[in-house]
Chain A
């Protein structure tokens, strides 16, 4: 099973700042990594798939990069609604696995 390690666990930032979230895989997942946002009490929402492709309706301030074992989700300028939990997920191998999450909180 591929283990995904997300860092940091918590990111404390102010609105308007740039957020950089990391996801590292225990072995290569090629480009097959996705990012989700989860707000309290809501289902996860797909932000990025296959490392760098924005899902439908996702604002341009969200961007993804990386390949192999190291991936990054960037939020260029944090909006109030962006303070939430973020998860990565790999689809290169069965079983599908998720990272432990990064919480982006208001500083």
Chain B
């Protein structure tokens, strides 16, 4: 059974970098699936952040965040990471990692989700 678990600091100061990790269990991150990040500000809707594929190196980012986002994969730890630079209060949200439903498909629905981790941007 594939499981995803996010981890990282729950509080980040404005202008600093938000760094989160998603540990994947029950499946090799080096496989043919893409892996993604989605966020949800308190009381608001869902926003796709970006998606990565380890084998091809293909990475897709939301244009609204592209200048500040980096997603990477660490195969040795079977995990992938999100770095969001120069954060402001508007980046306060629950951050989810997720896996698309179909193999070799980056632009897809997400059928496996982590439980989410709340990150607050505040001094």
B95 CB to nearest A CB, Å: 11
Question: What residue of chain B has the Cβ atom nearest to residue A6's Cβ?
Answer: B45
Number of A residues, CB within 8 Å of B: 26
- Are A89 and B116 in contact, with the CB atoms below 8 A? no
Separation in Å of the B49 CB from the closest CB of chain A?
Answer: 9
> What's the least CB distance linking B6 to chain A, in Å?
10
Interface positions of B from 24 to 45, Cβ below 8 Å from A: 45
Residue B8 at the A interface, CB < 8 A? no
B residues touching A (Cβ–Cβ < 8 Å)?
45-48, 51, 60-64, 96, 101, 107-111, 113-116
Residues of A within 8 A of B (CB): 1, 32, 34, 36, 42-46, 49-50, 55-56, 87, 89, 91-101
Q: Identify 28 residue pairs between A and B in the complex whose beta-carbon atoms are under 8 Å apart, listed by A's number.
A: A36-B46, A43-B96, A43-B114, A43-B115, A44-B113, A45-B113, A46-B109, A49-B101, A49-B109, A56-B111, A87-B45, A89-B46, A89-B109, A89-B110, A91-B108, A91-B109, A93-B107, A94-B107, A95-B61, A95-B64, A96-B48, A96-B62, A96-B107, A97-B48, A98-B46, A98-B47, A100-B45, A101-B45
